[in-house]
């Protein structure tokens, strides 16, 4: 076959026009240097880094142990191994102790054998597994909802559900003590945000009556049991408000599923409210469900919307087999063995009563699974936690901004596995150690003053 002559001009023209749109130009653009201060690329110049550094330096100067990222050498149940020593543990929220059961472990191991450790893709695009539907069915039955959806993270469940359901014309009203995942979702949504005073529904009603007409959709967000304070909201009152003002009510059950109610079904069981009256039930799988992940239960339209538009679901991997199956098994055991819930509740009451009798400030706690011991000063809380650790008790200090300034505390997570002896020992030792710090007038300001003096 006779070859056609090479058209050099056409080739040159084409390459010139490609060059105009091409990476060569982009490359030359990339090589332009801006006059930005080179320090701006150093993470250490971030104010956030500076905050951490000041805290670390202060801990060193004041000879306190940094309480973060303590390494456990095995499963953290009622006891845990730290630095080779057994501690009584109050820093983990395996409230019913199910994370320690062979039955849960065996189910998770079997699921790994069949499905592997990851589902290796998002459910809409890579496909479902039977265990997803099974867990969602169990959760729907629990809340008597039409449908349910499980996410890979509890935090992402709140962020995506609130953040993607609401928009600029909407209003979100949340309790002042709400968890970070709630407030982050509220910010992301772009909706008008208003917080109401903690558990103060007169305040909520005042805000909603002043603002309802200015907004399209309104969502009220509360928690079933507050994770820093251990108290519960009045669900019937919330239902009444949301019905009168035409709002959605979302309840985060992270610390109430498996804890509240005679059989652990949560806030609605505890307060005898029809669960169908709540628009959005949310919960996490990291507490009583022995794994991690989050869930939403509600009507079918809500779940359909979330399946396609909740970014934390649509654009994230599906829940893995062992976590999903551990969650299912935990719900099954919780329903089969209500004595665990009973034991948790009696332990919570025991601890609260003993702490109050010892004169400790337990704030608003109702004595379920979260009991704070409020000490006020943040450094005193850290030092108290350090001193308890020395004496074989692990309770984590919580300081600002997780709780209001001057309300620093040790938070005790109570579980069904704790014995009364362990609970009493924790109260006795906390009381003793706190008294020593109070007698020495140990606080952030006195410690800083003594640093100045010793300069």
Round to whole Å and give the CA distance between 349 and 208: 35
179 near ligand PMP (CB under 6 A): yes
155 near ligand PMP (CB under 6 A): yes
Which of these ranges, 16-24, 150-158, 190-198, 306-314, lies near ligand PMP under the rule CB under 6 A?
150-158
Which of these ranges, 19-27, 131-139, 249-257, 325-333, lies near ligand PMP under the rule CB under 6 A?
249-257
Which of these ranges, 23-31, 149-157, 308-316, 431-439, lies near ligand PMP under the rule CB under 6 A?
149-157
199 near ligand PMP (CB under 6 A): no
CB 191 within 8 A of CB 167: yes
For the sheet containing 147-151, what is the strand order? 147-151, 294-298, 280-284, 248-252, 218-223, 171-175, 192-196
CB 298 within 8 A of CB 145: yes
CB 410 within 8 A of CB 445: no
Residue for token pair 């995942």: 181
Nearest residue (beta carbon) to ligand PMP:
154
CB 331 within 8 A of CB 142: yes
411 near ligand PMP (CB under 6 A): no
154 near ligand PMP (CB under 6 A): yes
**For residue 233, how many other CB atoms are within 10 A of its CB?**
21
Report the residue from 99, 181, 195, 288 that binds ligand PMP according to the rule CB under 6 A.
Answer: 181
Nearer to ligand PMP, 223 or 270 (CB): 223
Nearer to ligand PMP, 328 or 447 (CB): 328
Helices (H), 276-377: 300-309, 311-314, 321-336, 339-357
Round to whole Å and give the CA distance between 420 and 17: 81
Round to whole Å and give the CA distance between 72 and 87: 10
195 near ligand PMP (CB under 6 A): no
Provide the token pair at 300. 């079918």
**For residue 345, how many other CB atoms are within 10 A of its CB?**
21
Residue 372: phi and psi, rounded to 5, are: -85, 150
153 near ligand PMP (CB under 6 A): yes
Instruction: Tell me the closest approach of the beta carbon of residue 158 to ligand PMP, in angstroms.
Output: 6
Which of these ranges, 20-28, 152-160, 322-330, 377-385, lies near ligand PMP under the rule CB under 6 A?
152-160
Nearer to ligand PMP, 223 or 377 (CB): 223
Site for ligand PMP in 208-237 (CB under 6 A): 223, 227
Site for ligand PMP in 257-316 (CB under 6 A): 284, 286, 292
Provide the token pair at 255. 């610390």
Residues of this chain that bind ligand PMP (CB under 6 A):
153-155, 158, 179, 181, 223, 227, 252, 254-255, 284, 286, 292
């Amino acid at each position: 076959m006779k070859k056609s002559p090479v058209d050099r001009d056409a080739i040159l023209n084409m390459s010139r026009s490609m060059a105009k749109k091409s990476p060569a130009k982009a490359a030359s653009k990339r090589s332009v240097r801006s006059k930005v201060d080179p320090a701006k690329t150093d993470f250490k110049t971030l104010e956030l880094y500076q905050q951490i550094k000041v805290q670390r330096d202060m801990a060193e100067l004041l000879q306190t142990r940094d309480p973060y990222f303590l390494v456990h050498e095995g499963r953290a149940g009622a006891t845990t191994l730290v630095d080779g020593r057994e501690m009584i543990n109050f820093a983990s929220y395996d409230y019913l102790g199910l994370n320690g059961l062979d039955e849960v472990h065996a189910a998770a191991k079997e699921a790994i054998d069949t499905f592997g450790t990851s589902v290796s893709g998002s459910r809409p695009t890579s496909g479902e597994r039977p265990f997803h539907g099974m867990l969602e069915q169990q959760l729907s039955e629990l809340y008597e909802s039409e449908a349910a959806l499980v996410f890979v993270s509890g935090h992402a469940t709140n962020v995506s559900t609130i953040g993607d359901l609401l928009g600029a014309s909407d209003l979100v009203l949340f309790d002042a003590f709400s968890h970070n995942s709630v407030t982050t979702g509220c910010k992301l949504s772009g909706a008008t945000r208003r917080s109401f005073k903690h558990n103060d529904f007169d305040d909520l009603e005042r805000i909603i009556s002043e603002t309802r007409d200015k907004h399209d959709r309104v969502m009220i967000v509360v928690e079933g049991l507050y994770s820093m304070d251990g108290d519960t909201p009045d669900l019937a009152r919330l239902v009444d408000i949301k019905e009168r003002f035409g709002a959605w009510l979302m309840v985060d059950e992270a610390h109430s599923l498996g804890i509240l109610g005679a059989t652990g079904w949560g806030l609605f069981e505890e307060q005898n409210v029809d669960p169908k009256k709540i628009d959005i039930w949310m919960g996490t799988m990291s507490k009583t469900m022995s794994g991690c992940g989050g869930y939403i239960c509600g009507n079918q339209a809500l779940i359909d919307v979330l399946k396609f538009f909740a970014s934390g679901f649509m654009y994230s991997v599906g829940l893995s087999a062992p976590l999903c199956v551990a969650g299912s098994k935990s719900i099954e055991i919780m329903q089969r063995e209500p004595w665990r819930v009973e034991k948790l509740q009696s332990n919570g009451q025991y601890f609260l009563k003993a702490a109050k009798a010892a004169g400790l400030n337990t704030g608003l706690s109702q004595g379920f699974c979260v009991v704070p011991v409020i000490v006020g000063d943040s450094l005193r809380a850290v030092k108290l936690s350090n001193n308890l650790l020395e004496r074989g008790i692990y309770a984590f200090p919580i300081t600002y901004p997780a709780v209001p300034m001057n309300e620093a505390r040790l938070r005790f997570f109570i579980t069904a596995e704790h014995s009364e002896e362990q609970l009493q020992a924790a109260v006795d030792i906390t009381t003793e150690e706190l008294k020593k710090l109070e007698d020495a007038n140990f606080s952030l300001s006195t410690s800083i003053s003594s640093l100045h003096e010793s300069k």
